[in-house]
């Protein structure tokens, strides 16, 4: 495998992750980091993030309203959703990459 495309996409993911942790985020940095590292969060945000990551079709307006009632604004909810969705995508790509590497490394 020449690995050109694989390297580029890995680079893209790293760059996007850095961007999500950068100064343009509205959700507090430590919470964005916790979401990207799959750590357990406080309050209703944890349930929302898990839902986005694992079963986004079940998200309803009530879940959004619950976050707002807890004090989050729309910018923060946007950041939380984007970070959670990013994790789901990155996990899939990493799984494929690991499988490719496993076969590359096989005797």
Partner 1 sequence: MRLECFYSRLGFSAKVITQIVRFLEGFNPDIVRVFLYRKEFFGESFQARFHETLRGDSDWTFGERELMAAFVSFKNQCRYCTDAHRATAGRFVGDATAEAALRDPETAPISAKMRAILRFLAKLTAAPRDVTGADIAALRGAGISDDAIDNAAEICAQFCVINRLADTFGFRLQTEQQLANEAKTLSTKHYKF
Which residues are at the interface with partner 1 (CB under 8 A)?
A: 1-6, 9, 12-13, 15-16, 19-20, 22, 24-26, 52-53, 56-57, 59, 61, 64, 74-75, 77-79, 81-82, 84-86, 88-100, 102-103, 106
Could you tell me the smallest distance in angstroms from the CB atom of residue 81 to partner 1?
5
**Nearest-approach distance from CB 78 to partner 1, in angstroms:** 6
Token pair of 39, please? 């750590």
Are the C-beta atoms of residues 32 and 20 closer than 8 Å to each other?
yes
Is 41 or 85 the residue whose CB approaches partner 1 more closely? 85
Q: Which CB atom, from 3 or from 43, has the smaller least distance to partner 1?
A: 3
Residue from 84, 79, 81 nearest 24 by CA:
79
Closest distance between partner 1 and the C-beta of residue 66, in Å? 12
CA–CA separation, 21 and 23 (whole Å): 7
User: Can you tell me the distance from the alpha carbon of 74 to that of 80, in angstroms, rounded to the nearest whole number?
Assistant: 10
Tokens linked to 8: 């580029």
């Amino acid at each position: 495998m020449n690995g050109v495309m694989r390297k580029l996409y890995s680079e893209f993911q790293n760059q996007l992750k850095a961007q999500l942790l950068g100064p343009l985020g509205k959700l507090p940095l430590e919470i964005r980091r916790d979401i990207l590292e799959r750590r357990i969060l406080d309050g209703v945000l944890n349930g929302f993030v898990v839902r986005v990551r694992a079963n986004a079709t079940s998200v309803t307006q009530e879940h959004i309203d619950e976050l707002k009632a807890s004090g989050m604004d729309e910018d923060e909810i946007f950041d939380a959703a984007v970070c959670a969705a990013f994790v789901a995508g990155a996990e899939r790509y990493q799984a494929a990459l690991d499988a490719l590497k496993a076969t590359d490394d096989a005797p």
